[in-house]
Structure 1
């Protein structure tokens, strides 16, 4: 089963490493790990911390043991993140296929990705959130930001400084296939 939560992408892999380091070396239960992530990464709520914990696990940067979650003895390299995204995150294969078809003249936008994957949004997400379309559009933007972080996507067009971001996705950017795709 693929992971749904996609947190805001960090500015770089060093920042991702800081999220990984916020998870303890000694196994802790979910509540303890989420509290530690919130405290060390200044996250707004437990749900955001839980999303990060699940996402780090999908990237093999955190392991779940019988005694709880623990930081993995692995570096957050571009290759590791690419593999985790490809194998573990919902709608990444569809995003990569759409990026292969995009061009600088017609880049893939978050709205385009949402439109292409709208029918794949799980039924229970549609039922429990009356604003599910906006939530999944935002998720599409974050997902494209993660793909750009590891060179599976490349932002194009718009403001030339738009590729320099401190945090969060480029919601209005268009993307094409990156060098690693």
Structure 2
């Protein structure tokens, strides 16, 4: 199963480790884990914390047990995160295919990725959010940022850490 949430990528792996460490070693229920994530990682709301829980689970950095969420002893390395992205996050295979087709003369933008994956957006997301296109465009930008963090994508235009839209080509890890 591939999960949909894609939070804003952190600046580096030390920050990702902090998100993982915010999940307890002793299983905690969703509410407790979201509260810990919000408090320890200064997240704005419960939904953002819940998205982080799902995403960390997709990366294999935390597990959901019958007693709640618990962090794993897996170190968040670029290789581990690459594997988690490929195996656990919705539309990553499509993003990687689009990156393989991109070139410095025609790099992949978040809008390009959204256009390439638009038909794969789950129907219920379209139905429940009147502004689903903007939400999924933003998700495409965040996904490309994650792929760049683990060298599956390489920025070639814009400022990937700023407000300017960046464009990408395949990274060294692809």
Q: Same fold (TM over 0.5)?
A: yes
Q: TM-score range by the shorter chain?
A: over 0.9
Q: CA deviation at 1:85?
A: 0.3
1:172 lines up with 2:172 in the alignment: no
Aligned residues: 174
Q: Deviations over 1:44-84 (max 9, x none)?
A: 11000000001001111101111111111110000000000
For 2:63, what is the secondary structure of its paired residue? strand
Preserved CA contact (<8 Å) 1:110 1:140: yes
State the partner residue of 2:20.
20
State the partner residue of 2:62.
62
Preserved CA contact (<8 Å) 1:145 1:170: no
Give RMSD over aligned pairs.
Answer: 1.1
Q: CA deviation at 1:33?
A: 0.3
- The gaps in structure 1 that reach 5 residues or longer are none
TM-score (norm: length of structure 2): 0.97
Q: CA deviation at 1:157?
A: 2.4
State the partner residue of 2:124.
124
For 2:115, what is the secondary structure of its paired residue? helix
Distance 1:56 1:129 in 2: 24
Distance 2:136 2:113 in 1: 10
Preserved CA contact (<8 Å) 1:141 1:171: no
TM-score (norm: length of structure 1): 0.94
Preserved CA contact (<8 Å) 1:138 1:171: no
Preserved CA contact (<8 Å) 1:7 1:142: yes
Distance 1:66 1:119 in 2: 35
- The gaps in structure 2 that reach 5 residues or longer are none
Q: CA deviation at 1:170?
A: 6.2
Q: Please list every run of at least 4 consecutive aligned residues from structure 1 whose deviation after the TM superposition is greater than 2 angstroms.
A: none
Q: Which has the higher contact order (CA 8 A, sep 6+)?
A: 1
